[in-house]
Amino acid sequence: MILDLLENAGYYRGLDLRVGDALNYLANTDFSRVPEGRHSLDGDELFALVQRYRTKPIHEAKWEAHCRYIDVQYVVQGTERMGYAPLDPRLTIRQSYDAEKDLVFFDAQGDLFEVRAGMFVLFGPQDVHAPGLACSSGIPAEVLKVVVKCRL
pTM for the whole thing?
Answer: 0.95
Distance CA 151, CA 104 (A): 16
- pLDDT band at residue 137 using 50, 70 and 90 as cut-offs: confident
- pLDDT band at residue 138 using 50, 70 and 90 as cut-offs: confident
**Full residue range of the structural domain in which residue 142 is found:** 2-151
The rounded mean pLDDT for the chain is 96
- How many domains would you assign to the chain? 1
Contacts (Cβ under 8 Å, ≥6 apart) of 145: 50, 51, 53, 73, 74, 75, 76, 78, 80, 131, 132
pLDDT the model gives residue 2: 97
> CATH number, domain at 122?
2.60.120.370
Coil, strand, or helix at residue 9?
A: helix
